[in-house]
Amino acid sequence: MPLDPSAIGREGPVHERSWTSKDALLYAVGVGAGLGDPSQELSFTTENSHGVEQQVLPTFGVLLAQARGVSIGEFNPAMLVHAEQEIRLHRVLPVEGTLRAQARVESMEGKRSGALVTSSSTATDADGTPLITTRSSIFIRGEQVESGAPATADDWAQPDREPDWEVTLATRPEQALLYRLNGDRNPLHSDPAFAARAGFERPILHGLCTYGITGRALLQSAMGGDPGQFRAMSGRFSSPVLPGDELTVRIWRHEGGADGAVLFQTLRGDGTVVIDRGRAEVGAPE
């Protein structure tokens, strides 16, 4: 059975998730917080440092908002890659809490070499107050589907000037082994034999780990280190990262865009763009 376009608009079951201070700390270390200088980013990596109140990295919300989806048909999962990710916060994430999340299939779009499937997830507090909205796309190579209305054209363009901020962050050789403890146990990120069958020289880093590292760079620079100024972030995964790679995030104020809008790209040390067409919004969640 191929992909099933009738899945568009279907919603999955409501999923309740709770998290603790420890979960937030593990995520922070999993995306490299404290690497190189453990005295930095203590508000995200510790809960008992003198004079430092624990805070939560905003991109942790991508994991918190994950919910069981609905069947979109049959396909070879080895042909699936994470294509795009967006997060929008409606409030600053608390150190611990409980939420309810529900996923929805938004669209299926046929491409030349496969199909792009986009889903969203909404997460609310137990009382129904909005907390997180996410949108993610997967690309399934070799699959085809009849497209509906064409997607809105993306007018993203790299500014013809030097970035306003440039942040370079390291990754650990064992970064994927740390990050997988947040729940993504795909052996592509840990098993050399599995990675070789997928065409990689060794296990690659989770795309959402690269996304979280990029979020740290945005937070440190354009957002002044304040999670209360992190409203939204989106980007397109364009190339894999190997654990141990150095990542540089180039960030531009979006001239002509909304107040607080920035554009960004994330590059490996060899100059390869690994997250492209990045956008973020600086300002209090709403």
Known catalytic residues are: 184, 189
Confirm if 65 and 125 have CB atoms less than 8 A apart: no
Report in angstroms the alpha-carbon separations of 136 from 49, 66, 178: 35, 10, 23
Angle between helices 21-30 and 207-220 (to 10 degrees): 90
Longest distance between any two alpha carbons in the chain, whole Å: 58
Single out the residue of 235, 230, 221, 215 nearest to residue 282, CA to CA: 230
Other residues' Cβ atoms within 10 Å of the Cβ of residue 283: 15
Neighbouring-strand partners of residue 14: none
Single out the residue of 212, 211, 209 nearest to residue 56, CA to CA: 212
In the block, residue with structure tokens 């995964």: 237
